[in-house]
Structure formats: structure tokens, C-alpha cells
Structure 1
Amino acid sequence: MGKQGCVYLVGAGPGDIGLVTAKGYQYLQQAEVVLYDRLVNPLLLEYASPQAEFIYCGKMPKKHILRQEAINDLLIQHGLEGKKVVRLKGGDPSVFGRVGEEAEALEQAGVPYEIVPGITAGIGAAAYAGVPVTHREHSLSFAVITGHDKSPSGEPLIDWHALAKGIDTIAFYMGIGNLPHIADQLISHGRSPDTPVLLIQWGTTGKQRTLQGSLANIVGKAKTAQFKNPAIILVGEVSEIKKGESWFESKPLFSQHLLLGRASDEQSAIGQHLRDQGAEVFEFPRMQLKKNLLKETDIPTDKDLLFLSPASVDVFFASLQANKMDIRHIQGDFYGVSPKTVKALASYHCVGKEMSERDPHASTLVILGDSEGIDREKQRYSFVFDQDFIATHTYTRVPQTLQTFRRLQEEERIETIIFPNVRAVKTVTESFQECGESPENISMYAQVICFGEKSKQAAVKAGYSVDKVLSEPTEKALFEALLQKEFSLAAAFS
């Protein structure tokens, strides 16, 4: 009997990748196939398995990449093949996400499934705009309404009288195209023209944009501001709670979309700190580590060892364990190329030193690192023979990361590129070229920041126009550069 498949209908939340539930994140990591919608933040795809197959099911008004029937067929096909399938939907799959139709199709085909709820946009986007959808003094009821439906005109066919007179706060989804009809119907069925209205576009993301008005004037304001979907129309007294920037919009790096160059499989601490300050960060390209466990005869026991990264430390100690070798057989001293690497040695209860502490006249040094790092260090340590270098691992690019880049590019969310080192310039540029992009074209719409002169020289040689070189290669200097007016991309919509 073959392995049984299962389809997980997962709510991805309204945009912020931190709003996915723990269960949704777990299933995404385990998925062999991921079918995702247009309103799913592409950055979520970076957390799927490197081996997962991605299928884009984007839907726009009057334009469908895959029709619903085809999506149902794919879910059934992969489920019957015994695969773990995640159907990733923006917001909550049960709120205008057509999860009922997909669940019914799976049920009829005998494919097991689970529904994993998510945070719906009407609540999440409002909260990120600083507005609670209920409030003891302003709103004791809340309703979510589709802003367009299957009627010939696309205008929602609902009980307007009950809605206008009986519900305090109303969230219309994807209704900007029908905003005049919605405002007219609410007013004509008894809602005051002075009722506050808040429009929230791309809620909970760095592209979040808001517009306040009333039922009487919101149509004109939205037209002037060229407001478009995806957006929530929030009608009710609670909308007036928003005064200026919300807690989310006031973060120092809000609305900045950063591509942080990456050269290993480790996520950057800098990347997380930038996210904490409100930036949307794409660490690109995503890399996968392949270990080259050493044979016992290849493990040096009587020479000093220089580790080029924490990963090389991990592979070395994994090799000792695989060969059942006692650490006491290693007679040489341990060195790390960076404080982070020295710290990795300490995690194995070994004392590591920085290279500055080593006697330059000491015995032969053996350098352990990834294959590309070894090539770089061979040039630096050209006086050392080739056999004194050991490749502990290699990095390969995860193919799906290119799909994430393309989706972000289509949504105009590649605005600033950061090169922390020379190696990142190489890996990023190769990935761009695989997507059919050139450094020259990227530089026309994205600003480029380099940590130092060496990374600048590499970037210029590759074809980029470099806009800024940090005063010092630190996180603090990067943060200050991003805060400068010429690097603040916040405000196209402020």
C-alpha cells in the first residue's frame, strides 16, 4: 500500500509573514507541493521545503492563471499520488477563499484534507492600520461582506437595509471597483452620509496604504488617490480611531522593501533586525548546504585548523562522530575566521581563537570551509599547499527562490539591494541572470548599498550602479543609511 496523501488548506494571513499560524507554518515546511494564490506574500515561499514543487494559482479580476476547476483537479491529483499538499490562501481560507468548493471536491475524490484557519484581512489589516473592528464605545457588531459577487454586474446582492441599520462595523473585501455602489446603497438604506470610512490597501505589508473619509466623500477621495484592490473598505465609527500613523506605519523602516544579498544557507541576524524595524526583507538567493563528511584518514590530527564558517565547524564535528573519533586525537589548535565561527567552536566545548592570535611561524595550517570559500582562501594563503585545504560542504541555490524573486518583482517590491560582501554580489548576480535580469536593468529601479569598498568594486564590475557605501561595515551604519531621506523609499503612498 502506497503512502497516503493529504491536502492542507492553509490560511496565509493578510500579508505579514509573521501572521501565519504555527500549524500552517509546520505544514508548509513539510509540503511536497504548494499551490499558492496572488495575495499570498511570496516571502512565505522561502520557508517551504527546498524540494517542494510550487504552482502559482494567481487570480485577478477577469484574469485567472488557473481556473478553480483546474485547481481542484491538481489538488486531487497530487493528493491521490500520496503527496503532502499545501493549498496556501491569503487571509483565512474560509472567508471568501472558496475553501468550501475545494474541500467538497477533495471529499468526493476521497482525498484526506485539513482546513487550517488564518487571520482574515478585515481584522488583520484594520489592526495594522490602528483600528479595532469592535470597541465597547463605538462598535458592538462586525460583519465581513464581499465587495463583488457572481451577479451579472458584479455588485454585491445583499440585504442592504439590514446591513446599513443593524451592523456597526462593516468590512467589504475587494470592493474598490464597486465603491460608488456600496456607498450609495448604504446611504439610501439609512446609513448617515457622515459615517466614517477607512480604505486599507495591501494591509499588513510594506505596501500598506490608507485613506480616510466618509460615505459621502470617499468615492471622490479614492478616485483622486487612485486607490485600487487589494483593499478593505472599513465602514463604521471605529474608523475614526485612526489618528495619523498607526503603530505599524510608524516603525522607522516601514514601507522599505529590501533585498539582502546572501551567500550561505544561514538567515542573517541583520535581516531579522531590519524586519523588527518595519522593513520587508528578502534574503536572496536561498541556499542549501550539502555536507561532505570527512573520512577518518582525511581528518587532520596534528595540525592547526582554521574554520571559515560555523557550518564548517558543524561538519567537522559530525565527521568525528561518524568515524567514532575521540576529540582528544586532535592535537592542533582551533581557529575561527570570525567571532561567529569562534562561538560555534565554543558550542562544542572547544576553545577557538581568532587568526590574529596565531603565531605566523607556526606549523602548517589546514583550512576547512565550503568549496567556494576554499577557492577564495587559496588566493589569500597562496603559500600553503593545496592538500592543506579541506572542503567540508558546498552550497547550492534553491531553485524556488527564483520564483519568489519573480513574484516580488512583479509586485514592485524590489526597491533596495544590499550587498554585505563580495561573495553576496556573485550569488545574487548569478541568480538575477538566471531570472533574465541584468545588474544594469536592476539598477534602474532599485538602489544599491554596499557594506564596503571591496563589495562596491565587485558590484560596479558586475554592472550595478552603487548608490551608497556604508561608513563602516556594521548593522548600525546600514540602519542609519536606510533612514536617510534619499534611501527612504517609504513614501510613495504617504
Structure 2
Amino acid sequence: MFDLSVDLAPFEAGTVWLVGAGPGDPGLLSLLALHGLRHADHVICDALVDARIIALARPGAVVEAMGKRGGLESVPQSDITARLVELARQGVRVLRLKGGDPFVFGRGPEEALALAAAGIPFRVVPGITAGIGGLAYAGIPVTSRDTNSAVAFVTGHGADGELPDEFDWDSLARGAPVMVFYMGLKHLDRLAARLLAAGRRPDEPVAVVCRAATPDQTVLESRLGSVAADVAAAGLKPPAVVVLGGVVALRDRLDWWIPS
């Protein structure tokens, strides 16, 4: 029988683990993520991590919320990284618990670079990113042999909080039959307008998945030309993943999950 205490990497004192918690469902945690939660002395968690996952931390562990939420008052990133370094230097086993995957449109690389600069040993524990796992829980595959041979994962806002301008939107619209947008609700109207101007069809199917893989999951199906108005009418709020392309049409046959 597999023994977590024997067969997985030891969580050494004075180290930091950057752990992906996945999109929501605790069942999507990796064994290594659960192992880390069971051994950490101090857990610093994001705002979007499901409470059921935080509850898996070992009894006696300190749990500290230092989440960042777009558009809301948040702990500065510099304070978070400084806290990780401070605790590790005290000989604490620190687990930084992040929604999704630490290295997919998150601050994981920034935190890892800060730890490396400070000489703090760290481990990255990948998680299932919402753009794959969250869509799967909505019955939407990111690829299907009959619809697409490529997919683009795109952030809905840049470091300044605005719609990114550093890439070629026309080339993106032409080259990616399916696009998955993280943090795309804030600028959804402008995002849709950019894609329409680049030649995407107004009747192309779009799905917006809010609070994916949690009991509060909500899915809105729409079309590119009307999705911004439909989201506003439905009153949907972040966190959300937006997917554009033919895979959305598969949802009527693949919508398997019933939140409980």
C-alpha cells in the first residue's frame, strides 16, 4: 500500500513549498499537495482556495490568509514574499497554497524568484489549472479531435490591470481555434470587441464558468457578440474562466457534474 509518509518527498524545516490547490474540488489535489498540507507548520493561502482544502492542513498548523483579488484591496505581493522568507528563516515548514497551478497566470514565479534570491530552499507542487480542470467540470474539453488541434491560454488583464496589449490580437484570433481566458470578466466587453475586430464570428459559442469545480459553480453559455451583455444581465462575478470556440458546443452532451 502507498504510504504518504514514506514514499513522498520530506518537507524539511526552513523550506517553502509553492503548492497548487487546483480549481476547487479537494479531490483534485495531488498526493504531494496533500502530503505538504499534512506536514506544514504554517500555511499561507490565497483568497480563492476552497475552504475544504484549507481544512486538510494538519491540526496545529497556522493558517494565514494573504490572498490577492483583482480589483479588491489585497495584501501587496512584496509583503507576501517577505513573509515567506521571514518564516523560512525561522526554521518553519511553510506551505504557500495557491488556487489552480502556481505557475499558470499566478504569482508563483515571482515568489519562487524571491525565495531563490534569498537563498531559501523551495519546491513547486503543480496543481490542476482552472483552464483545464475547471472547464472539465463544466463539461467542456479544451481540445477535441473534431474541433481543434490547438488551444491558447490567455490572461484577461496584464500587470497594470488592463487588457494586455503586448501580443498580436489579430494573430491570436486567427491562430487559435479555441481560446481560454483567465481573469477575463472585468474587460469582457473590450475583449469580445477585440476578437470580433480580428475576425472572429459574433455567433461563435462562448462559455463563462464561475467558481469552477465548487458547489457554487455557475456556467453561462452565450455567443461572442452578446456574451458581455449576457454576463452583465446574469450578474456573474469573478473568479471565472471564459472559453471561446467549438468545444463549447460539446457541453450539451458532456455536462456530467452535479455540484453537491
TM-score where L is the length of structure 1: 0.49
Asked if 2 retains the 8 angstrom alpha-carbon contact of 1:32 and 1:83, the reply is yes
Partner of 2:242: helix, strand, or coil?
strand
The 1-side partners of 2:216 and 2:135 are apart by 14
Q: Which residue of 1 aligns with 2:159?
A: 150
Q: Which residue of 2 aligns with 1:437?
A: none
Q: Which residue of 2 aligns with 1:82?
A: 91
Partner of 1:224: helix, strand, or coil?
helix
Report Cα offsets for 1:18-61 as digits up to 9, x if no partner: 11110011011100000000110011122111111111012222
Report Cα offsets for 1:160-209 as digits up to 9, x if no partner: 11210001211111111111111110110111112110000000011000
Q: Which residue of 1 aligns with 2:126?
A: 117
Count residues in correspondence.
248
Q: How does 1:59-458 map to 2 (within 5 A)?
A: 59-151=68-160, 154-157=162-165, 158-243=167-252, 246-249=255-258, 254=259, 279=260
Asked if 2 retains the 8 angstrom alpha-carbon contact of 1:56 and 1:65, the reply is no
1:50 aligns with 2:63: no
Deviation at 1:63, TM superposition (A): 2.8
One-letter amino acid of the counterpart of residue 156, structure 1: P
Match of 2:45 among 12, 21, 36: 36
One-letter amino acid of the counterpart of residue 244, structure 2: V
Asked if 1 retains the 8 angstrom alpha-carbon contact of 2:139 and 2:250, the reply is yes
Partner of 1:63: helix, strand, or coil?
coil
Report Cα offsets for 1:218-238 as digits up to 9, x if no partner: 111111111111000101110
The 2-side partners of 1:84 and 1:149 are apart by 32
The 1-side partners of 2:157 and 2:196 are apart by 18
Report Cα offsets for 1:120-161 as digits up to 9, x if no partner: 00001110011110000101111111111124x611223211
Asked if 1 retains the 8 angstrom alpha-carbon contact of 2:153 and 2:182, the reply is yes
Asked if 2 retains the 8 angstrom alpha-carbon contact of 1:142 and 1:169, the reply is yes
Percent identity of the aligned residues? 40
One-letter amino acid of the counterpart of residue 210, structure 1: V
Report Cα offsets for 1:353-393 as digits up to 9, x if no partner: xxxxxxxxxxxxxxxxxxxxxxxxxxxxxxxxxxxxxxxxx
Q: Which has the higher relative contact order, 1 or 2, with Cα contacts under 8 A spaced 6 or more apart?
A: 2
Q: Which residue of 1 aligns with 2:33?
A: 24
Alignment RMSD (CA, Å): 1.4
One-letter amino acid of the counterpart of residue 154, structure 1: E
The 2-side partners of 1:23 and 1:244 are apart by 33
The 1-side partners of 2:71 and 2:211 are apart by 20
The 2-side partners of 1:97 and 1:64 are apart by 17
Report Cα offsets for 1:64-106 as digits up to 9, x if no partner: 4421101001100111111111000000000111111101110
Structure 1 runs (4+) deviating above 4 angstroms are: none
Partner of 2:186: helix, strand, or coil?
helix
The 2-side partners of 1:180 and 1:120 are apart by 24
TM-score where L is the length of structure 2: 0.92
One-letter amino acid of the counterpart of residue 171, structure 1: V
The 1-side partners of 2:13 and 2:213 are apart by 36
Please state which structure has a larger fraction of its residues in helix.
Answer: 1
Deviation at 1:62, TM superposition (A): 3.3
Asked if 1 retains the 8 angstrom alpha-carbon contact of 2:140 and 2:254, the reply is no
The 1-side partners of 2:206 and 2:172 are apart by 15
1:9 aligns with 2:38: no
Partner of 2:187: helix, strand, or coil?
helix
The 1-side partners of 2:46 and 2:256 are apart by 28
Query: For structure 2, which runs of at least 5 residues remain unmatched after alignment?
Result: 1-11
One-letter amino acid of the counterpart of residue 155, structure 1: L
Q: Which residue of 1 aligns with 2:4?
A: none
Asked which structure has the greater CA Rg, the reply is 1
Deviation at 1:4, TM superposition (A): 4.4
Deviation at 1:244, TM superposition (A): 7.2
The 2-side partners of 1:4 and 1:137 are apart by 50
One-letter amino acid of the counterpart of residue 81, structure 1: Q
Asked if 2 retains the 8 angstrom alpha-carbon contact of 1:58 and 1:64, the reply is no
The 2-side partners of 1:50 and 1:220 are apart by 46
